[in-house]
Amino acid sequence: MPIKIAVPKETAQGERRVALDPTVAARFAKLGLEVMIQKGAGRDAQFPDEAYADTRVVDDAKTLMSEADIVVKVAPPTQEEVNMMKDGATLIGFFHAHKNTDVVKALQKKKITSFAMELIPRISRAQSMDALSSQAAVAGYKAAIMGADLSCRFFPMLTTAAGTIRPSKVLVIGAGVAGLQAIATARRLGAIVEAYDVRSATKEQVESLGAKFLDLGVKAEGEGGYARELTDEEKAKQQEALAKFISQCDVLITTAAIPGRPSPMLIPQKMVDGMKSGAVIIDLAAEGGGNCELTKPGKTVTKGGVTIHGPLNVPSQVPLHASEMYAKNLLNFLSPVLADGKLNLDWNDEIIAKSCLTHDGEIKHDATRSLVEGDQK
């Protein structure tokens, strides 16, 4: 009997992505797996059921999940979805376990082996599996588009019969994957772009995209590609130095987010008060509360002529390409462990060991285990 891999229709509000696009689904079929997809699962990403060749379309989630050996998802599963799965099956997707401890307990109870895409270690060998990076690239691109859309100004310099329009000035805070993509997109749109990151190693990347790197004298290199938390003294120095540049920009894009933790507050209200009328803030860290003190996650607000936009689940706004990228991350993660048509998990492999959330009734991720055990006391 071949391994059955299933793609349910996403149920999270506003989620338009699908875990497997037709091309990657066909690749799994060629690996000897039986691919099943719930009816309409790819519709919101513009993949009709007919596009999934060599794939069995199943009418309802319960039938699909109960048959599957491996279930692949995008958004975190619900308890109901976990309960539909057969005991001992494998589930792969984003989990955000710190927000969903009840789901983790359900996984533990049913002895489901779960792998969290957000836990994949940031090592060179795992770059092709890094879904955080692939989806952050989508978000960064979209952030620049949002900024241009909400701004009352043109991005590029325009020479017209009515005179010359000066280009907009865009400031990007955070030069990770999302920030770099925001920089590149804003530059393509013709804006003058400046960028800041506490990791000095990003200076070369920022400048390679044609933007100016702001050296504010605050550096905080951390582990795993992330910045360490700033001291109170460093935060004060950073905000004081940033205030001048923020007051001059037309669009501010903030991307400073730490998985599993609240987003650092970088832009207090007094800094917003100093911005020019008509300026726009796109806060990509809204999922974690936001980098701006005035950000309302999922909403657009105006304060003193400044528009603050706190979008949620931005990759879902570009569902076709976001799904294609995510599907390839899943393929690259699963292909090495599907030798001979069987699921062969090497627990000595750093990627497998560190991305595993639960297995055989145990919570394998230390931070999540401590959190769940704390809830039970």
Q: Three-state SS for 79?
A: helix
Pick the catalytic residue: 133, 135, 168, 263? 133
Question: Which one of 66, 102, 122, 349 is the catalytic residue?
Answer: 122
Is 130 known to be catalytic? yes
Q: How far apart are CA 113 and CA 142, in angstroms?
A: 34
Confirm whether 52 is a catalytic residue.
no
| pTM, full prediction | 0.93
Question: Known catalytic residue: 323?
Answer: no
Is residue 124 part of the annotated active site? The answer reads no
The Cα–Cα gap between 92 and 111 comes to 14
Structure confidence by residue, pLDDT tens digits, 208-219: 999 999 988 766
- How far is CA 289 from its chain centroid? 15
Per-residue pLDDT of the chain (377 residues; tens, 9 = 90+): 899 999 999 999 999 999 999 999 999 999 999 999 999 999 999 999 999 998 999 999 999 999 999 999 999 999 999 999 999 999 999 999 988 999 999 999 999 999 999 999 999 999 999 999 999 999 999 999 999 999 999 999 999 999 999 999 999 999 999 999 999 999 999 999 999 998 888 999 999 999 999 988 766 555 555 555 667 777 777 778 899 999 999 999 999 988 778 898 999 999 999 999 999 999 999 999 999 999 999 999 999 999 999 999 999 999 999 999 999 999 999 999 997 778 999 999 999 999 999 999 999 999 999 988 876 65
Catalytic residue selected from 21, 44, 130, 283: 130
Alpha-carbon span 157 to 26, nearest angstrom: 46
Q: Which of the following is catalytic: 127, 208, 269, 370?
A: 127
For CA atoms 55, 57, 61, 65, give the dihedral sign. Answer: negative
Name which of 4, 6, 27 is nearest 72 in CA terms: 6
Among 49, 128, 188, 226, the active-site one is 226
- Annotation marks residue 122 as catalytic: yes
